[in-house]
């Protein structure tokens, strides 16, 4: 192999690795399969780091935020929730290629049925608010999961506060 060809080979490989790096957030949890060793250390930039592509899923995570939080046993949008959803709506209006699955969760007092109902009410509240801000209904699916998809599970507020939420999950080709 000539020096030039090996350089081309290296450049192609680097490009491949860079492309792989762009996809890290879409990997299943912690598979890490497409990560190189250099990518796989704390503080390594993900999706371009500070140069995140506008309109990408990572841009939404960095510039806007996917989570809307709720108080105990409530599906009411408070000022903080509305401020979050205003930013989401602005971004979604700017990037109409995205659809969203609004995934409600509950970690509140009550029966499993009550939790599922509450999580659905939370997801519906988010859908209705985004709709009022100009997002077409056809771009959104609101689904309540009760405690099925909660994060850390403990009796303390540290866990519960994180689980009383709706995640706005961007989808390019959703099933709905």
Partner 1 sequence: MSLSRRDFLAGMAAAGAAGLTASEAHAYSKTFSKSAMTYFAGVASDNGHNYRITNWKKIKAKWQRQLVKYKSIEPIGSVVVDAQNHFLYVVFENQTALRYGVGVGRDGFRWYGRARIDRKALWPRWVPPPEMRVRQPDLPESVEGGIDNPLGPRALYLYRKGIDLGYRLHGTMEPWSIGNNVSSGCIRMFPEDVIDLYQRCPIGTRVLVLKTLGAPVIDERAPVDGEPPA
Per rule CB under 8 A, is residue 84 in the interface with partner 1?
yes
Per rule CB under 8 A, is residue 55 in the interface with partner 1?
no
Question: CB-based burial of residue 17 (10 Å sphere; 0-12 exposed, 13-18 middle, 19+ buried)?
Answer: middle
**What binding mask, one character per residue, do residues 7-36 give for partner 1 by CB under 8 A, x or -?**
-----------------xx-x-xx-x----
Per rule CB under 8 A, is residue 43 in the interface with partner 1?
yes
Q: Write down the least CB distance from residue 122 to partner 1, Å.
A: 13
Structure tokens at 47: 């999706």
CB contact at 8 A, 142 and 124: yes
Report the DSSP beta bridge partners of residue 169.
101
Distance CA 115, CA 106 (A): 5
Chain positions contacting partner 1, by CB under 8 A: 24-25, 27, 29-30, 32, 39-47, 49-50, 52, 58, 61-62, 65, 67, 69, 80, 83-84, 87, 151-152, 156-162, 164-165
């Amino acid at each position: 192999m000539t020096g030039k060809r090996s350089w081309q080979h290296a450049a192609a490989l680097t490009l491949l690795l860079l492309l792989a790096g762009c996809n890290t957030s879409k990997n299943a949890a912690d598979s890490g399969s497409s990560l190189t060793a250099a990518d796989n250390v704390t503080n390594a930039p993900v999706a371009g780091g500070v140069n995140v592509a506008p309109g990408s899923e990572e841009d939404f995570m960095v510039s806007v935020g996917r989570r809307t939080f709720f108080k105990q046993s409530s599906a009411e949008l408070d000022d903080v929730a509305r401020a979050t959803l205003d930013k989401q709506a602005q971004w979604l209006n700017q990037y109409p290629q995205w659809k969203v699955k609004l995934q409600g969760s509950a970690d509140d007092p009550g029966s499993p049925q009550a939790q599922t109902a509450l999580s659905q009410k939370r997801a519906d509240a988010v859908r209705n608010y985004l709709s009022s801000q100009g997002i077409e209904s056809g771009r959104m699916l609101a689904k309540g999961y009760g405690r099925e998809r909660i994060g850390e599970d403990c009796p303390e507020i540290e866990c519960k506060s994180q689980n009383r939420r709706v995640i706005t999950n961007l989808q390019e080709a959703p099933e709905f």
